[in-house]
Amino acid sequence: MTKYLLLLFIVMAQGQNHAAFDGPYIFINGNKLVEKKIINNKVISKTLETSSYDTIYYSEKSTFHKVSKIAALSDIHGQFDLLIRLLQNNKIIDKSLNWSFEEGHLVIVGDIFDRGDKVNEILWFIYELEAQAKSKGGRVHYLLGNHEYMVLYGDLRYIHEKYNKSSKLLNLEYDELYSNNTILGRWLRSKATIVKINDIIFTHAGISKDFIAYENFNIEKINNKMRQSIPRLKELRKLRRSGKSNNFYDMYFGKNSLIWYRGYFEEQLTDSDILKILKLVDADHIVVGHTSNEKVVQLYNNKIIGVDSSIKKGEYGELVFIKDKRFSRATLNGELIELK
């Protein structure tokens, strides 16, 4: 068992007394790595071998072909325990939290951050699972949602109060715990916001007509633009909030952007509107999170799949399982129900 998994078990075993435990947060300090953990409300620091972690993370690829099976879920919002149950019961991971989805792809369609109190645990778990999956011919895709970007641009309104305590103890703002001088921060900055697997596009909130009208649709280019904008995001947001218009910010981070749009669920779109969007983006289906439902849902004749199954409440959750062009809800108990 790896060190992260061992740590996760310790964290899980702490049960209710969670506020006093957090981390690790690993800071890159020149050519040193400094690990900080909070144990019993105290910060424990340790210098690590520089070889303990990669410090360079290359941009994730944006398109994948011939993938035999896919599972996707979203909006985990710090609900580590429920996430583990859902993945175990659907055989994505085994009892020891190791990858068991073979050459399948698991897509986390954004929003691990905010609301709940086990965000850091989930990030390390996904970090570890990603490497395991790759070594088995599978893949984990962690797409950035609006709550990832909110933390990256310093909008900290939704963090759990535990993280206010952690930040105070570590003498940093919460977003600095994921800055570009941290291992998880660099890893996050390499992630995609939109990915295409076979003929299916995955993105946190959806692709609006406005977005495609603004941008010639090229997934690789869109991901790169979003990655490259991260260092300027705080400044762009400030300018926008002071009333200065900024088309780029509005289209990429505004209400009809890939990370905030709710149109598939809230606007009166027709099947033919959806077919037009799909044609422009050269896909047969779009899988989104962000808008919460009680379970995984399909809209517009299975063209749009909504995977935010309200895991954030900490009670129940589902994922979508895709194989041979068939879409099924995978329930918390591991039952498959075909979407129709």
**Footprint of Zn ion on this chain (CB under 5 A)?**
111, 145-146, 290
- Tell me which residue has its CB nearest to Zn ion: 290
Closer residue to Zn ion in complex, CB, 26/195: 195
Q: How far apart, in whole angstroms, are the C-alpha atoms of residue 6 and residue 38?
A: 16
Phi, psi of 8 (to 5 degrees): -60, -40
Q: How far is the CB of 317 from Zn ion (least distance, A)?
A: 15
Comparing CB distances to Zn ion, the nearer of 36 and 290 is: 290
Is the Cβ of residue 120 or residue 146 nearer to Zn ion in the bound state?
A: 146
146 versus 256: smaller Cβ distance to Zn ion: 146
Q: How far is the CB of 69 from Zn ion (least distance, A)?
A: 25
Nearer to Zn ion, 149 or 187 (CB): 149
Contact 60, 190 (CB under 8 A): yes
Identify which of residues 186 and 290 has a Cβ nearer to Zn ion in the complex. Answer: 290
Closest approach of Zn ion to the CB of residue 206, in Å = 11
What three-state secondary structure class fits 48?
strand
Report d(CA 87, CA 97) in Å as an integer.
9
Closest distance to Zn ion from the beta carbon of 289 (Å): 6
Closest to 209 (Cα-Cα) out of 286, 289, 109: 286
Collect contacts of 92-99 with beta carbons under 8 A, ≥24 apart. Answer: 92/319, 93/129, 96/1, 96/5, 97/5, 97/8, 97/125, 97/129, 98/5, 98/132, 99/129, 99/132, 99/133, 99/136, 99/138
**Nearby residues of 204 by Cβ (< 8 Å), 6 or more positions away:** 74, 109, 110, 111, 143, 144, 145, 146, 193, 258, 259, 288, 289, 290
Distance CA 163, CA 22 (A): 8
Closest CA to 178 of 194, 196, 191: 191
How far apart are CB 209 and Zn ion at their closest, in Å? 20
Rounded least distance, CB 55 to Zn ion, Å: 29
Contact at 8 Å (CB) between 306 and 296? yes
The nearest distance, CB 54 to Zn ion, in angstroms, is 28
Number of H helices, E strands in the chain: 12, 15
- Candidates 160, 157, 134; CA nearest to 58 is 134
**Of residues 186 and 312, the one with the C-beta less far from Zn ion:** 312
Tokens coding 244 = 């200065």
Minimum distance from residue 111 beta carbon to Zn ion (Å): 5
Q: Which is nearer to Zn ion, 36 or 191 (CB)?
A: 191
The token duo for 62 is 């944006």
